[in-house]
Amino acid sequence: MYIGAISMRYARALLMFANEAGVAATVYREALTLRESFRKVPEFRQSLEKPVMSREDKRTILKQAAGGNISIQMQKFFDLVIQEKREKFLMYINQSFIDLYRKQEKIRVGKLTTAVPIASEEVERIRKIVVDAAGGTAEFATKVDPSIEGGFIFEINTYRLDASVADQMRRIKQQFIEKNRRIV
């Protein structure tokens, strides 16, 4: 069966279950913690897929990976996933849930890359501009990358604004190359 169909089906069920209980925001935070666990420990997913590991051990590991003291809804969801032997899809289910929740709550996800560290007040000002323009809320990650030499790169959802010095220099270089080809 197609992984996307399985993950989407389970993610929708989890979102509905969490919404009905009124704890969707809590489950969302737990899902973000679980996603970080999948990112930081690549062997985590493979260990869940091993049939020799008991169900109780899998529950314990998942509970710890989602933050330790997790909601009843998330515990029941983990029980369902383990019972139906869908552990190998859990990473995809979790990401699908995060995407569905963000869509439901109109959460924009952005990343701001700068050449030097930027003050938190500036990040908040940019977040406010995005929220005012698009509505909903915004989550931002900041990254310092000296290779852009100056300026910034701003990404939100599928849009990207590259106002870095490195990109401008690359464009100027390309223009000189094109102009010199015509002369020669």
pLDDT in tens, 19-68: 999 999 999 999 999 999 999 988 888 888 888 888 899 899 999 999 88
Greater pLDDT, 135 or 114: 114
Region for residue 138 given its phi and psi (left: phi exceeds 0; alpha: psi -120 to 50; beta: otherwise): beta
Residue 36: CB atoms within 10 A of its CB come to 13
**Range among 98-102, 127-131, 167-171 with highest mean pLDDT value:** 98-102
pLDDT value at position 70?
Answer: 93
Average pLDDT rounded to a whole number, residues 89-104: 94
Q: Report the alpha-carbon distance of residue 100 to residue 26 in Å, rounded.
A: 14
85: which 2 tokens? Answer: 């032997």
| Closest to 91 (Cα-Cα) out of 36, 41, 38, 46 | 38
CA 44 to chain CA centroid, Å, is 18
Give me the residue spans of the domains in the chain.
3-103, 106-183
Tell me, what amino acid is at 73?
Answer: Q
Cite the beta strand spans of 101-150 per DSSP E: 107-114, 137-144
CA 162 to chain CA centroid, Å, is 21
pLDDT value at position 128?
Answer: 86
Q: Report the alpha-carbon distance of residue 134 to residue 105 in Å, rounded.
A: 12
| pLDDT of 184 over the 60 cut | no
Query: How is domain 3-103 classified at the CATH fold level?
Result: Peroxidase; domain 1 (1.10.520)
CA distances (Å), origin 13, targets 8, 28, 134, 172: 8, 14, 28, 51
Region for residue 149 given its phi and psi (left: phi exceeds 0; alpha: psi -120 to 50; beta: otherwise): left
Report helix, strand or coil for 72. Answer: helix
pLDDT value at position 14?
Answer: 95
Percentage, residues of the chain above pLDDT 90: 48
pTM, 2 dp:
0.79
| pLDDT of 110 over the 90 cut | no
pLDDT-derived band at 2, boundaries 50, 70, 90: low
CA distances (Å), origin 7, targets 2, 10, 112, 120: 9, 5, 30, 36
Q: Report the alpha-carbon distance of residue 15 to residue 95 in Å, rounded.
A: 12
| pLDDT of 1 over the 60 cut | no
Percentage, residues of the chain above pLDDT 70: 97
**Block residue for tokens 């989602």:** 66
| pLDDT of 16 over the 90 cut | yes
Asked which of 61-65, 111-115, 179-183 is least confident by mean pLDDT, the reply is 179-183
pLDDT value at position 145?
Answer: 92
